[in-house]
Copies of this chain bind each other. A is one copy, B any other.
Amino acid sequence: MLINISSMKIYFAGAIRGGRNDAKIYEKIITYLGNIGQVLTEHVGDQDLGNMGEKGGIDMAIHKRDIKWLQSADVIVAEVTTPSLGVGYELGIAEKLKKPVLCLYRPSKDKRLSAMVKGNNQLSLWEYHNLTEARSCIDSFFKSLV
């Protein structure tokens, strides 16, 4: 698939109501992705956003907006370390929309990534341990698209 990087729309997916332990990492990944294209979902890295989600956000409006963003996105980048219904849902929809998907995962001893992601060859799964590695994964993934 040939994509014009400069005008690329990126949908970043990370846990919100599933838990905000990785919110700082999301923010740093989003900042890095912002150098590559337009991140549609910048709010996922907002440090003021807690696990109760967007204030005043009506769920149906959020769902409608996010589906519209998913449809318009050229690429989906998901951080999948914190289990999240929303991120999983977005991966399923993205797969059916035949969008390129990068999943970033920090492995640990006592946890195991879902087989729906780990055993899925329709997405690119990269493990990382720190932000430098995450940035390298992102670079490699975007290079593979052009």
Given contacts A17-B114, A57-B115, A86-B114, 18 further A-B contacts (CB under 8 A): A17-B83, A17-B113, A18-B114, A51-B112, A53-B115, A59-B118, A60-B119, A66-B116, A82-B83, A84-B88, A85-B114, A85-B116, A88-B90, A88-B92, A89-B89, A89-B91, A92-B95, A93-B96
Chain B residues, Cβ within 8 Å of A88: 84-92
A60, B123: Cα distance in complex, Å: 12
A60-113, CB < 8 A from B: 60-64, 66, 80, 82-96, 111-113
User: How many residues on A have C-beta within 8 angstroms of the other chain's C-beta atoms?
Assistant: 45
Most interface-central of A16, A18, A52 (chain B CB within 10 A): A18
